[in-house]
């Protein structure tokens, strides 16, 4: 049984606060081992990468064997059934079209003091995309990371994907191929992150590393952060569905289970004002579970982390949503726009009864890499901006410096920084000559 909370009952506030804080993962004690792998890769390059790959992935290679050539990617693509390939291409095109709208504009203007300022956006030069191995080598995830990088103008996009026993999911290679990934290497784990961050004889280092991974990969990304940029460290997936009684409970139940089936730590929450509907959803969940291939995982997730929260009025939902700050938010209500206007913290919002979160996982257009674990309070989903950076520009003509320079001298002196003051005052005096 999922957690049951009722906002109309006494003690709800305490119960809800406990529910929010209960779900914290114990940090795996992998940091020391990962540090050792990273030091070895930094010191010994290819040799260390290949040793750890043989040891951990049971896969022996030469340095040249790490590269998955463009031909190999194409061969993988040709083996995929046409319907799946068409779906992948539709996904790529829709993701591309949406993310192209995120390209930022440069700013360059001169104010009334004659001071010119603004900023220029530039792509990150080299980006590494980590893709997990085995069944978790999701092609949708390759597209969601690779397409925005290419839209941003990243010149060199390098993907690593482990090949346990030599096997790489052909869907992941096909996705890399159609997304325009520049280099693919069949390595994974902390050794792949180390190779991307420090570079080896075969793999040139990148400037930023993105993509999901297990506890070893997450630890490695944290440890190389600073040397390179990283994206967020993603936690288990979450959905919160706000639904009134006018929904089909079998559909809402399927939406909840689409999160629960990801892994046993995933979380699905239903917020509703209709008690009969809540009961019907729970019954539908149980019925679906009898038929789903991943029912064991989904059932455990629903039991341990799932929740049904009853509110007196759906107008009370936004305040609860903001405290949960869910990764995915479905608003299966009559006026989803009005409710959206009242939501402050959510990674992605799915409006109305006909918009399953799942469409957003694959072919909607917006990114499916989203902030988890309440981090939507302070962060956003992956975007083109994550693959670009901004340089501010400032140009002060002599006349402008006479106007604003003296204030800079005053503040520099107030802060006790006399070389700062000198740098401006020498120019001010020069201007008077």
Catalytic, out of 183, 261, 327, 357: 327
Segment contacting a copy of itself by CB under 8 A, of 29-37, 54-62, 184-192, 388-396: 388-396
Q: Single out the residue of 163, 257, 270, 271 in contact with a copy of itself (rule: CB under 8 A).
A: 257
67 forms beta bridges with 185
Q: Single out the residue of 9, 62, 101, 290 in contact with a copy of itself (rule: CB under 8 A).
A: 101
Q: Does residue 423 bind a copy of itself (CB under 8 A)?
A: yes
Q: Which is nearer to a copy of itself, 173 or 412 (CB)?
A: 412
Q: In angstroms, how far apart are the furthest CA atoms of the chain? A: 88
Residue 328 designated active-site? yes
Q: Single out the residue of 39, 44, 96, 427 in contact with a copy of itself (rule: CB under 8 A).
A: 427
* Footprint of a copy of itself on 104-133 (CB under 8 A): 107, 109, 111, 115-117, 119-120, 122, 124-125
- Helix 31-44 with 215-224: angle, nearest 10 deg: 60
* Footprint of a copy of itself on 137-156 (CB under 8 A): 138-140
* Footprint of a copy of itself on 73-92 (CB under 8 A): 83-84, 86-88, 90-91
Cα 101 off chain centre by: 18
Q: Single out the residue of 251, 300, 304, 316 in contact with a copy of itself (rule: CB under 8 A).
A: 251
185 forms beta bridges with 67, 160
Q: Single out the residue of 3, 262, 305, 310 in contact with a copy of itself (rule: CB under 8 A).
A: 262
Residue with tokens 């979380």: 267
Q: Does residue 238 bind a copy of itself (CB under 8 A)?
A: no
Q: Does residue 207 bind a copy of itself (CB under 8 A)?
A: yes
Residues 128/208, Cβ–Cβ less than 8 Å: yes
Q: Which is nearer to a copy of itself, 65 or 356 (CB)?
A: 356
Catalytic, out of 59, 99, 328, 368: 328
Report, in Å, the least distance between residue 407 CB and a copy of itself. 4
* Footprint of a copy of itself on 164-183 (CB under 8 A): 171
Segment contacting a copy of itself by CB under 8 A, of 49-57, 71-79, 180-188, 392-400: 392-400
Dist CA 347 CA 382 (whole Å): 10
Q: Single out the residue of 98, 177, 185, 216 in contact with a copy of itself (rule: CB under 8 A).
A: 98
Backbone torsions φ then ψ of 148, nearest 5 degrees: -60, -35
The interface mask with a copy of itself, positions 1-40, x = CB under 8 A, is: ----------------------------------------
* Footprint of a copy of itself on 349-378 (CB under 8 A): 349-352, 354-367, 370-371, 373, 375-378
Q: Which is nearer to a copy of itself, 9 or 354 (CB)?
A: 354
- Residue numbering of the annotated binding site for Zn(2+): 259, 262, 361, 420
Q: Which of 262, 277, 248 lies closest to 358 in space, CA to CA? A: 262
Q: Single out the residue of 12, 233, 263, 264 in contact with a copy of itself (rule: CB under 8 A).
A: 233
Residue 51 designated active-site? no
Catalytic residues: 327-328
């Amino acid at each position: 049984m999922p957690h049951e909370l009722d906002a109309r009952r006494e003690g709800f506030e305490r119960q809800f606060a406990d529910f929010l804080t209960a779900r914290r993962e114990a940090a795996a004690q992998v940091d020391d081992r990962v540090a050792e792998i990273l030091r070895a890769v930094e010191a010994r390059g290819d040799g260390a990468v290949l040793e750890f790959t043989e040891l951990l992935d049971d896969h022996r290679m030469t340095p040249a064997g790490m590269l998955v050539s463009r031909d190999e990617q194409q061969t993988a693509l040709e083996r995929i059934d046409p319907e799946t390939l068409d779906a992948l291409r539709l996904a790529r095109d829709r993701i591309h079209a949406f993310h192209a709208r995120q390209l930022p504009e440069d700013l360059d203007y001169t104010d009334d003091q004659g001071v010119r300022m603004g900023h220029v956006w530039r792509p990150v030069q080299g980006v590494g995309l980590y893709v997990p191995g085995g069944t978790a080598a999701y092609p949708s995830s390759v597209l969601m990371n690779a397409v925005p990088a290419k839209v941003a103008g990243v010149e060199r996009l390098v993907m690593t994907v482990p090949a346990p026993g030599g096997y790489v999911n052909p869907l992941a290679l096909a996705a890399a191929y159609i997304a325009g990934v520049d280099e693919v290497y069949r390595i994974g784990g902390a050794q792949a992150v180390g190779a991307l961050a420090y570079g080896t004889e075969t793999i040139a280092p990148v400037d930023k590393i993105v993509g999901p991974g297990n506890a070893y990969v997450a630890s490695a990304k944290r440890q190389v952060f600073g040397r390179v940029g990283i994206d967020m460290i993603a936690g288990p997936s979450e959905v919160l569905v706000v639904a009134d009684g006018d929904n089909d409970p079998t559909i809402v139940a399927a939406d909840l289970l689409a999160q629960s089936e990801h892994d046993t730590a995933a979380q699905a929450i239903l917020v509703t004002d209709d008690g009969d509907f809540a009961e019907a959803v729970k019954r539908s969940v149980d019925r679906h579970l009898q038929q789903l291939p991943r029912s064991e995982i989904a059932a455990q997730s629903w039991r341990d982390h799932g929740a049904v929260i009853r509110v007196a009025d759906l107008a009370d939902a936004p305040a609860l949503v903001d405290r949960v700050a869910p990764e995915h938010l479905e608003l299966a209500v009559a006026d989803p726009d009005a409710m959206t206007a009242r939501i402050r913290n959510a990674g992605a919002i799915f409006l109305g009864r006909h918009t399953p979160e799942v469409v957003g996982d694959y072919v909607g257009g917006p990114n499916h890499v989203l902030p988890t674990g309440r981090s939507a309070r302070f962060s956003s989903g992956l975007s083109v901006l994550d693959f670009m950076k901004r340089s501010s520009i400032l140009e002060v003509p002599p006349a402008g410096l006479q106007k604003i320079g003296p204030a800079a001298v005053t503040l520099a002196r107030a802060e006790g920084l006399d070389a700062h003051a000198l740098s401006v005052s020498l120019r001010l005096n020069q201007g008077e000559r």
